[in-house]
Structure 1
């Protein structure tokens, strides 16, 4: 059985876990991709993404207050859909989206680190550095809750302070003009559909708040502190995102942002603060990605362990010693390493957004319909979250089918394989029992 330590995570620690995941891939990896879809409007997209996330967070807060659990989202889905294929499939979609996020963060670490070594570094270093970061995250996660929350909380404060300082310094160079990025040929192809699609990526930037729900029973006074931690984490992340988006927008043109899409923040530091600014930005990026990986691995390994304990997913020890939680930690890291090697940043982000939004809609439907009368929630807000998710997902898939259809079909195939695999596994489990 997996063991969890009640009251082992403070409110500050929970906020550290949430912001640790959010302020990593969120701004470093996704800013350029959001600009690619929305042009000079990209800072506004983070505001809209924050609004969509706020609606979504409402459902999670209400579920956490009613069912605080270390299994978090997995437990919520079981409460809504029962111990069956729907709950198991949606839970694995969430777990996979979190693992995908880890590979996104890992490649971001490699991409930004290489900015210190001049132009045109060999591409193989990006996945190699990412794999190294994941190995480090594995070792840290063996250390236990107390060390993890202290590590992520301290370094989350450092990166928030550092990024805010960078943004303010970059904005001061242009006289705090908050000017939109100068247009280019890229703005001609921007449509309302592509702007809607970009919101899906900003939602991905905020999804780290779910890390808090996955540690529910371990947080002190969970019914009070989970909601507070989620609200504080989203608010802090939104402020940092907006400062950085405007700093980049005011210092670079759209064409420059798109050229440096995977490392736009470092590129914005050059005209604003010179090479010293680049070193500062890369240093903060390294801290941010390290804390993001550690917090995400912490959450997903616990979620998978809970699903294993509930006999919703198969599990094999493969001769490994220790608890199930340690085994799921190994599986999490191995899958994240494989994705880091195989996919580039854009496709990793796209798949993560699709899987997450599908799971998110199932959470809202569960609260709105399945748990009606059991979870005290304003149905209008929950329905609003469901509609917003659906609209954003539809726009994102539409745009991706036009520009990179392979990733949409791969995502659909992953969903179908998980669904079929879970159905077969649960049928066999039922026959054995």
Structure 2
């Protein structure tokens, strides 16, 4: 059985978990990629991503109010579709996208840490450092909820303060002039499709709010505080993203932002603050990625444990002692380690965005089709969320199909493998019973 403790997470602790996941890879790893797709006005894309996420979060808030659960999205899908292939597959899509996000954060940790030593980002040390961070996150998660919420809350506050100092310093050097980044040399032209595709990456930077839904039954007064924590986390993250994006835009030409896309914040600190600024930015990145990994591993392991308890996914002990939660922690961290070693930052982010948007659309459709009256959701808002997701997903896949078709192929393989695997697993289990 899994070990869930009611009232073990406070409202502040839940907000700390949400922002801990969001303000990590979201701004450090994705800002340069967003700039590459959106061009000089890339800071505005974060507003668009926040708006899309706001509509999306509506469904999760409504379901959390009605069904607060440690299984979060897994439980929502069961309520909408029953214990069938669609539920199990969509829940696994969410879990895999969260694990992909962990590998993204882990590689970001390695990339930024090496900036202090002027080591090239292609070095084998990037995945090695990422693996070390994931192992540390596993050890911290074994310590339990009380330590995790205290740690992530304090660290989230520290990194937000640090990022605000960085952003305000950058804007001060630029004379508080909020202007688009200069083009520089060899900058790609943005199109409507690339602008919409950029929104997909910003959505990935906001998806950490689902961490809160996956800890629903553990939060104090969940029917009231889950929604509050989600809204607060999104608003805090959006504000931080905006001022940082404008600070980078004001201090670096667009060509340099794109060139240093995996460590653009550190690069933006050089002209503004010199090497000391780089060290300060790297320190914030290290703090942010550590808290992000811990919070994400915390959430996804509990979601997988809940799905295991509901007999929706296969589980094998492999001789390990302890409860299911500890086992899912191991599986989560090991898979994230493999992905961190195999894929680079850009590809990790792209696959994660596609899988998350597919899962998100399945959730919205479930609310519209089966739960709208039960959770008292307004159809217009849910339809808007579903349509926006579809537009962003199609634009993003079209862009990737024309620039890096392997991403689309890998994403489709992931999705097909999950659906087919779940179909046969559930069929086999039913035959056994």
TM-score by length of 1: 0.99
Cα distance in structure 2, aligned partners of 1:30 and 1:57: 21
> Aligned residue for 1:21?
21
Residue 347 of structure 1: aligned partner: 347
How far did 1:123 drift? 1.0
Q: 2:89, 2:422 within 8 Å by CA — same for their partners in 1? A: yes
Quote the residue 1:231 is aligned against: 231
CA distance 1:199–1:121, change in 2 (3 Å): closer
Q: CA deviation at 1:320?
A: 0.1
1:11-410 matches, cutoff 5 A: 11-120=11-120, 123-184=123-184, 186-410=186-410
Q: After superposition, give the CA deviation of every residue in 1:243-291 in whole Å (9 maximum; x if it has no partner).
A: 1000000000011001111000000000011111100000000000000
Cα offset for 1:185? 5.1
CA distance in 1 between counterparts of 2:122 and 2:251 reads: 28
Q: What is the alpha-carbon distance in structure 1 between the residues aligned to residue 243 and residue 269 of structure 2?
A: 13
Matching residue of 2:7: 7
8 Å CA contact 1:361–1:389 kept in 2: the answer is yes
1:346 is displaced (CA, Å) by: 0.3
CA contact (8 A) 2:372 2:378 kept: no
Q: How far apart are the structure 2 equivalents of 1:139 and 1:362?
A: 34
Q: CA deviation at 1:41?
A: 1.4
State the alpha-carbon separation in 2 of the partners of residues 124 and 209 from structure 1: 32
Q: 1:365 to 1:185 in 2, by over 3 A?
A: farther
Alpha-carbon distance in 1 for matches of 2:113, 2:270 = 15
8 A Cα contact 1:26 1:204, kept in partner? yes
- Mapped partners of 1:370, 1:334: distance in 2: 36
Please report how far the alpha carbon of residue 187 of structure 1 lies from its aligned counterpart in structure 2 after TM superposition.
4.7
Q: How has the CA–CA distance of structure 1 residues 283 and 374 changed in structure 2, closer, same or farther, with 3 Å as cutoff?
A: same
Cα distance in structure 2, aligned partners of 1:157 and 1:46: 21
Shift of 1:298: 0.1
CA distance in 1, matches of 2:119, 2:146: 41
Please give the per-residue CA displacement for 1:326-374, whole angstroms capped at 9, x wherever unaligned.
Answer: 0000000000000000000000000000000000000100111121321
5+ unaligned residues in a row in structure 2: which ranges?
none
Structure 1 residue 3, shift from structure 2 partner: 1.8
* C-alpha distance in structure 2 between counterparts of 1:186 and 1:311, whole Å: 53
Task: Tell me the distance in 2 between the aligned counterparts of 1:372 and 1:31.
Answer: 36
- Deviation readout 1:98-130 (Å, 9 max, x if unpaired): 000000000000000000002536610000000
Q: Give the direction of change, closer, same or farther, for the CA distance of 1:77–1:176 in structure 2 (3 Å limit).
A: same
Q: Distance in 1 between matches of 2:189 and 2:162?
A: 35
The root-mean-square deviation of aligned C-alpha atoms, in Å, is: 0.8
Which stretch of structure 1 is more off in the superposition, 394-403 or 369-378?
A: 369-378
Q: Partner of 2:313: helix, strand, or coil?
A: coil
Contact 1:18 1:209 in 2 (8 A): yes
Runs in 1 of length 4+ with deviation above 2 angstroms?
A: 119-122, 184-189
Alignment partners' CA distance in 1, 2:192 and 2:219: 41
Q: Is the 8 A contact 1:297 1:333 kept in 2?
A: yes
CA distance in 1, matches of 2:254, 2:171: 17
Q: Displacement, 1:375?
A: 1.4
Please report how far the alpha carbon of residue 189 of structure 1 lies from its aligned counterpart in structure 2 after TM superposition: 2.4
**DSSP-derived class of the 2:404 partner:** helix
Deviation at 1:73, TM superposition (A): 0.3
